Chains A and B, each alone.
Chain A
Amino acid sequence: MPPRKRSDEVELYNRLALLRAERGLSRQELADAVGVHYQTIGYLERGEYSPSATLALRLAAVFGLPMEAVFSLTPFRALSEQVYGTRPDPQETR
C-alpha cells in the first residue's frame, strides 16, 4: 500500500527513472550528486515524495535539463508519442 497522501496534495510527475536509466546512473550515484539518501531517490521516482524546489533544480541540473523537463504537474507524454507524434496502437503490434 502506498503511503497516505494529504487530500490537498498535488500529484507531481517526474522522469527521473527514465533519465537515470538513459544516463546509466545508479540511485546511489544520483543521490550522491544531489546530496540525498539513495532511498529518497526511490521515493522520488515512485512519486511518493515531492521534492523542494531546491532539490528539483539540483536534480534537473545533474541531467543538464530545465526543471520542467524532469518534473511536471501533468503526466508526461510517452516518449514514442513525443518522437513519432502518435500513440502506438496495441492491435497493430500483435
Chain B
Amino acid sequence: MTTSTRTERRAARLDDPRFEHLRTLRARRLLVGALCALLVVETALFAVLDRAPVASVIGLGVLVLAFVVCLGTLKASTRGLEELPEEALDERQWQLRGEVYALSYRIGLGLLTAGLAVVAVWLAAGWPAPGEGVRTAAVVVPFHVALVLPTLVAAWSRRA
C-alpha cells in the first residue's frame, strides 16, 4: 500500500473534480467579488468596533467563518496554484504562478503606497487620531489583503 504525502493529499483535494463547476471564469470572478466584499465588511466592522463592540465581535466571528469558506472555495477553484509546493505543479502552472505573484506584488505595492499616502496626508493635515477600531483595521485588513491577494489574482486570471 502506498501512503501519499501531505502535499499529495492537499493537491488531490484542491484538484477534486467535484469543484469543476467552480472553475469557470465566471464562477471564479464571482468568488473574487465575494471575498473582496468580505474584506470591505471586515473593514466596516472594525470601524464601528468602538461604538458597538458586542455586535462587531459577533459580526467578526461570522465573518471569519465566511472568510474561511470563501477562501477555501477560491483555492479549490484555482487548484491551489498559489499555495502548493513546486513538486505538486507542472511547468505551465509553475510559470502561471510566477506571473500571479509578480502581479500580486505590483498590486500590493500600489495598495501599500496608497495606504502610506493616506497616513501622510492625515498627519500633514493634523486631523484627530482615529479611533481604536480604525487603527486595528489599518493593521489587520492590509495583513488579510496580503494573505489573499495571490489567490484573488490567480482566480481572476483566464489561464488558471
Question: Nearest A residue to B92 by beta-carbon distance?
Answer: A40
Question: Nearest A residue to B95 by beta-carbon distance?
Answer: A49
| CB within 8 Å of A: which B74-112 residues | 79, 89-93
For residue B17, give the distance in angstroms from its CB to the closest CB of chain A: 11
In the complex, B159 has a CB within 8 A of chain A: yes
**Residues A55 and B91 in contact, CB atoms below 8 Å apart:** yes
In the complex, B18 has a CB within 8 A of chain A: no
**Residues B91 and A51 in contact, CB atoms below 8 Å apart:** yes
**Residues A40 and B93 in contact, CB atoms below 8 Å apart:** yes
**Residues B91 and A3 in contact, CB atoms below 8 Å apart:** no
**Residues B91 and A1 in contact, CB atoms below 8 Å apart:** no
How many of chain B's residues have a CB under 8 angstroms from any CB in A? 9
Interface size class, chain A: 10 to 19
**Residues B92 and A36 in contact, CB atoms below 8 Å apart:** yes
Which of B89, B92, B93, B158: most chain A Cβ within 10 A?
A: B92
**Secondary structure class of chain A's binding surface, majority of residues:** loop
In the complex, A48 has a CB within 8 A of chain B: yes
A88 CA to B38 CA, complexed, in Å: 59
**Residues A3 and B158 in contact, CB atoms below 8 Å apart:** yes
A39 CA to B89 CA, complexed, in Å: 12
**Residues B158 and A49 in contact, CB atoms below 8 Å apart:** no
Question: Nearest A residue to B157 by beta-carbon distance?
Answer: A3
**Residues A48 and B159 in contact, CB atoms below 8 Å apart:** yes
- 26 A-B contact pairs sorted by A residue (CB < 8 Å): A1-B158, A3-B158, A3-B159, A35-B90, A36-B90, A36-B91, A36-B92, A37-B15, A37-B79, A37-B89, A37-B90, A37-B92, A37-B93, A39-B79, A40-B90, A40-B91, A40-B92, A40-B93, A43-B92, A43-B159, A48-B159, A49-B92, A51-B91, A51-B92, A52-B91, A55-B91
